[in-house]
Amino acid sequence: MKICFCLHDHQPVGNFEHVMESAYSDCYSPMMKALHRHPAIRTGLHLSGTLLEWLEKTHPDFIEVCSVLCREGRMELLTGGRYEPVLSVFRRNDITEQIRDFSGHLQDISGSRPRGLWLTERVWEPRLASVISTSGVEWAVVDDIHLRRAGASGKDLYRPCVTEDSGRTLRLLASDMRLRYMIPFSPVDEVMGQLREYHEEGIELVFYGDDGEKFGVWPGTRELCYDSGWLDRFFTAAGSQDWLDVVLPSEAAALPASGPFYIPACSYPEMGEWTVHENDREDYRKAGQLLRGNGMADAAERLLTGGFWRNFLSFYPESKELHGRILSSEQMIRSSGITEALHHFWRSQCNCAFWHGVYGGIYLPHLREAVWREINLAEQSALGSTDGYPMVRSLDLNADGLEETVIATPSMSLIVHPERGLTVSQLTLIRPDGEPVTMGNVLSRRPESYHSEIPGSRPSDTAGTIHGNLGSKEEGLSDKVTVDRWRRVSFTELVMPVSAEYSDWERCRSVVSSAVTRPGFSGPEIGGGRIGFRCESSAGGLCWTKELSLSLSEPELTSRTEFASGPGSRAGIEVCLNLMTGSSPDRFYRIDGGEERIMSAGGRSRGRTVEVTDRWRRAGAIIEIDMESDIWVTPLESVNRSESGFESVHQGTAFFFSRVIGGAPVTMEVSLEMKHLEQIIPGTPAGGEE
């Protein structure tokens, strides 16, 4: 029997240096050393472009060993989208180009052009067969559930299978789920016993493809795989059996194939569960229980596919907004002909910040910041080379049937939502050195299916699959779950009864109403170095007229709202900013020049000015209101899960400027000006803090 091993190593764009270094020392390096020690083990390896470039820069010896193993015929490299995008949601020609580009880079390392592709998160859609084939790839890795959902069964699951789109064929190698769950968590003898069973059943090929991080990064696996010697024992056993032949993936893919099989849009089973829409989750759970309770567990897994990856683009408006921004910028970036801009563009497609499963994903601010930084750098490079500033484009960016306006100047980048009350998202300062600082990158909190599962215990350090039961990383998390009833962006008008309290706003209770825009907004209108919008809105029985004005030369915005007379209400304007953490003393706000308060410090004050300072990224903002008002502040903290347990994560800070309105019209004017640190604290060294 032939067995084929294939590993996928990946780190997201923007991951912390210490996290990547830890993954290298705990996982990537000892794995490569183990492969070098066991010449009988031949393997496929996929390194995402982010990780590969980091390794080339920081650990070139790793790349050299990789090159040696490839040229000795003991390893082959797999290609993919350059920086690990979900292939199905970007344009066909773009995906084809970046696969070819990445394959050329890998050929320089290995001495041969990659023939196989690692499919990002195994997210499959039928058109990918022709997209991948056109990219010069002969085969791709999927899970066995993909083929089972296409009707394959029995020995067809243990040989290459062929699929097709538009007359172009692609071979598929399906990773065996049973082995994925056993390795490395079951004793070596049990794993070898399972392989022996396959051999005795007449299976010709077993393919194992999985994340390399489960051999050292997943909780407890470094101790299991290396300190306890699990991996060496397994490699020794697998490489010494006369009935077991270890082959490279391309050798496995060249074996006689079955098919054709036509795979529906799907991924691995957990992804199908995570992407079920909120209103359908209970029905999905009950349907699975019904089938499993009647002895049809296999049918439940094959036939109840759940949702598919694109649902994340509707779950999280922040995700779709980024996706739309990338698609809308592609032609401009490509027209510039600048290779550096194109690579920034490709990095912005890195999948991790678009969605959420076991890992933190979109809930991790530094990952969201990183991909927004990349698209901003790509746009800056293209606009600067073509004299394209200012860029003002109105388009349906998030596919909701309403047009947004994207604005980019040499000093800022943002999105205006005219039909959503002239609110502003993706508020980014461009520092004089060209570095984008995403200050408005706030994630609104939404219900997650696992919120009902939050335990009171702390997570375990025992090695095991990341899909198992998870503990809490802090006490009282279930009490912190808050769902935002309006999107947490900037310049949002909110209305509530006079009797409403700070806690009503803090907890997003139903007494608080957000703006509903009436038909007939105007703008964008450009003149006098500014761009302006106007709309009429209402909420909570109160109506108002709003004007939003932005500078085309400075990073400054002004919102002027005239509230009509009406019943007694508290009304005001909310501004949400994200400085990436709420607990660091180098990121703080002050009200009317008072004491410094960290960004997670909420409370009530009165004043006219809020000054926000981010010494880490050398940026800040000044928010001013036309007259003294109540200023309410609250941190926006999500409760989500990661591979190590349930946790709270700071997603930004909301500032609400409000007054009690009743009997006469009231005008509120709020201006926000972003600044680099030298403007906030004169004399600050260019390198950072005072």
526-563: pLDDT as tens digits: 999 999 999 999 998 889 999 999 999 999 999 999 99
CA distance 618 to 625: 24
For the chain, which domains are there?
2-267 (3.20.110.20), 404-454+474-680 (2.70.98.10)
β-pairing, 645-661 with 205-211? unpaired
Cα–Cα distance list, 143 to 83, 226, 356 (Å): 21, 27, 20
DSSP for 598-643 reads: ETT--EEEEEEEEEEEETTTTEEEEEEEEEEEEEEEEEEEEEEEET
User: What would the two tokens of residue 100 be?
Assistant: 């070819």
pLDDT of residue 690: 35
∠ CA 129-131-134 to the nearest 5 degrees?
105
CA atoms within 13 A on the CB side of 364: 23
∠ CA 87-91-92 to the nearest 5 degrees?
75
Long-range contact pairs involving 102-110 (C-beta distance under 8 Å, separation at least 24): 102/49, 103/79, 103/135, 103/136, 103/137, 105/49, 105/52, 106/77, 106/79, 109/63, 109/66, 109/67, 109/70, 109/77, 110/66, 110/67, 110/70, 110/71, 110/75, 110/76, 110/77
CA distance 40 to 42: 6
Cβ proximity of 380 and 436 under 8 Å:
yes
User: What would the two tokens of residue 379 be?
Assistant: 């746009």
Cβ proximity of 680 and 613 under 8 Å:
yes
Per-residue pLDDT tens over the stretch 648-661: 999 999 999 999 98
β-pairing, 43-47 with 75-77? parallel
Instruction: Compute the CA torsion angle 441, 672, 659, 598 (nearest 10 deg).
Output: 60
Residue 112, phi then psi, degrees to nearest 5 = -145, 150
Residue whose C-alpha is closest to residue 15's, from 45, 53, 42, 56 = 53
CA distance 39 to 35: 7
Cα–Cα distance list, 69 to 38, 139, 181 (Å): 11, 21, 27
pTM for the model stands at 0.94
Cβ proximity of 78 and 119 under 8 Å:
no
CA distance 12 to 353: 8
Residue whose C-alpha is closest to residue 10's, from 82, 69, 66, 61 = 82
* CB-count burial class (<10 Å; 0-12, 13-18, 19+) for 689: exposed
Q: What is the mean pLDDT of each run of 10 residues along the chain (690 residues)?
A: 98 96 98 97 98 98 97 97 98 98 98 98 98 98 97 95 98 97 97 98 97 95 97 98 97 97 96 93 94 94 94 96 97 96 98 93 97 98 92 94 95 95 96 95 94 71 57 87 96 95 96 85 91 93 93 96 84 97 97 97 97 96 96 97 88 96 86 88 52
